[in-house]
Amino acid sequence: MENIKVILPDGSSKQLPKGSTGADLALAIGSGLAKDAVAIEINNEQKDLSDLLEDNDSVSIITIKSDDGLEIMRHTLAAQVLASAIKNLYPDAKLAIGPTIEQGFYYDFLPTKPVSIDDLAKIEKEMKKILSTQSPIKKTYHSKSDAISLFDKQDETFKAEIISDSDQAENFQIYTQEKSGFVDLCRGPHLPNFNLIGEFKLTKVSGAYWRGDSTKPMLTRIYGTAWRTKKELQSYLEKLEKAEQVDHRKLGKEMDLFHFQEEAPGMVFWHPKGWTIYTQLQSYVREMQKRAGYSEVNTPEVVDRKLWETSGHWDKYRENMFITEIDEEHANEKRTNALKPMNCPNHVQIYNQGIKSYRDLPFRLSEFGKCHRYEPSGTMHGLMRVRGFAQDDGHIFCTEDQIESETKGFIDLLSAMYKDLGFTEFKIKLSTRPEQRIGSDASWDKAEKALEDAIEKLELEYFIDEGDGAFYGPKLDFVLTDAIGRKWQCGTLQVDFNLPGRFDSTFVGEDGAKYTPVLLHRAALGSFERFIGILLENYEGKLPFWLAPTQVVLAAITDDANEYAVNLNNTLVNEGIRSELDIRNEQISYKVREHSLQKIPYIVAIGKKEINDNTVSVRTLGSDKNIVMATDEFLEKLLLELKNPIQN
């Protein structure tokens, strides 16, 4: 029998009979590996264990113990088990899609009657019933016409539409549960059977437009999470419960920070206390950027479409832009403008004012400019995703030779800011050139190497995401880890060979010739709205003293203490401390509970004893004990804490 040779990850090879599959390879390597195998990777492409191997294929086995294996398990749960359970319970429902998401999965479908969170228990029960069959899953390939016909007969209109809209002509993958006959279209790979599925839990129900288009049907979306073991699942559910307790929307209401309303969807109404957090954070970032050599600017929010046409946003990003039309005075025509979705084209306009020399580079600009982007209503989530926001936005115009040093400088700045704000752990993702891109391979080589060298010289951990760079250049994304282990992508640094050239931006080189600068787009915190949401959840609302909107409350115990409290409050306010009075005719225990809910760092009780001794009785947030201090000593303590990280 003719043999084939496959190359293993360690560089060794394995001889197998022609016609062997991934499952055959796993078994040939070892029975333990075959038991844990869920899929294979052939020439960097994930495939099912049932797929055939060809001579000289580079092959690795994906096991259930790996991150990829866990994702495949979740995908199988969504596309096979959850979808099958939906059809069993709601036979007339039409299935849509079921991808994986971070730490879980979801499935979209169109039911004939409402499905709510109260229905999740019975859906879970049906899923477990399906899993108990331990059914093998078989994959077959079909032509486009056959695949459309298959789903047309089942009246699965969404599946038929996916196939019809595809550029693919052949090899549509259909997965079938052998014991029930349930079939679904999927890119795969899937588990070969249900034996390797661990523990799962359905978590919530929401709505989602088909293909994210508000003109299309509103589907029901069921979310779930899945893990290898019951212990892993329980740990995640506890983390989820913790996340619900510290949800920034809940904290925002309790602390009276902000609100949203229907008349301005996705736009934040900042209350005085919330805006105090915002401005304190902004002042800190402003000073950090000033020290790092940035010049702050401010540019228009409403700009003529011509600018966006030149930048390329009109063609590539218009559906996410807010467009306005006005009748120009003394002109017989309308003028089309757009609210800016980003600041970069405006910053190029500032750069272009006057001739720049190589001596002027790097040229660093920063702006807290308000941006507006149309986000579908179903995607908005409190402060975490809004339509109106401001970033700690910045752009660096530099030469190619300066990319590495500017990258290092930005990472130094970002690292210091994250540390000051309480985030000691972050990771870096380096996204490299995509297939569709502009610029020469030589310029991409230089940019990617500059980014990589800068990270390595700082001895920071990073991973490479092949092919996920922007079409105009590679980028770095900075991912924070919060107090309960969640990941947040906040900062970014993007190398752009494209935009300066579109606006004819140049600088005069040392040789007198004109050159096009490289543009680095960068933000450390990203959206202020989103970052404040992250801060609130990370600290459970108990913000550092310098960021707390109200830092001290002086609560009088009796009416006789009111004058003393007023005088002390005036002293604190004059020293720049955000102090408030509470001289209401309420029990002190009631006042303490109320102000604790608002996460105020220090609650000071003042009664006759404090007046006689010239002291204060101080309760720190989170403590149930009062500490008596001399008034002067307390003021000195507050002044030390008042300073933000730059001042310390």
| Parallel, antiparallel or unpaired: strands 475-481 and 487-496 | antiparallel
Q: How far apart are CA 212 and CA 272, in angstroms?
A: 35
For 182, the 3-state DSSP assignment is coil
In 191-343, which ranges are continuous DSSP H helix? Answer: 230-245, 248-254, 272-291, 305-311, 313-316
Exactly one of 395, 522, 530, 599 is catalytic; name it: 395
Identify the CA nearest to 98 among candidates 87, 109, 106. 106
Identify the CA nearest to 483 among candidates 543, 416, 528. 543
For 290, the 3-state DSSP assignment is helix
- The set of residues, in sequence order, having a beta carbon less than 8 Å from that of 300 and lying 6+ positions away, is 340, 346
Let me know if 155 is a catalytic residue: no
| Parallel, antiparallel or unpaired: strands 295-296 and 370-372 | unpaired
Half-sphere exposure of 461 (CA within 13 A, CB side): 6
Exactly one of 249, 313, 347, 475 is catalytic; name it: 475
Angle (CA) 520 522 524, round 5°: 155
Token readout for 319 is 């559906």
Let me know if 372 is a catalytic residue: no
Exactly one of 75, 373, 387, 437 is catalytic; name it: 373
Let me know if 391 is a catalytic residue: yes
Residue owning tokens 């919530």: 204
Exactly one of 340, 521, 530, 599 is catalytic; name it: 521
Identify the CA nearest to 70 among candidates 27, 40, 103, 31. 103
Exactly one of 108, 392, 393, 477 is catalytic; name it: 393
Angle (CA) 615 616 622, round 5°: 150
Q: How far apart are CA 574 and CA 554, in angstroms?
A: 15
Q: How far apart are CA 471 and CA 501, in angstroms?
A: 14
Let me know if 142 is a catalytic residue: no
DSSP sequence for 491-549: EEEEEESSHHHHTT--EE-TTS-EEPPEEEEEEEEEEHHHHHHHHHHHTTT---TTT-S
Let me know if 344 is a catalytic residue: yes
DSSP letter at 414 equals H
Q: Which residues of 490-509 are buried (b: 16+ CB within 10 A; e: fewer)?
A: bbbbbbbbbbbbebebbbee
- The answer to whether 208 touches 174, Cβ cutoff 8 Å, is no
In 56-108, which ranges are continuous DSSP H helix? Answer: 67-76, 83-89
Exactly one of 80, 221, 344, 446 is catalytic; name it: 344
Exactly one of 80, 391, 402, 494 is catalytic; name it: 391
H or E element: which one contains 43?
Answer: none
Catalytic residues: 344, 373, 391, 393, 395, 475, 521
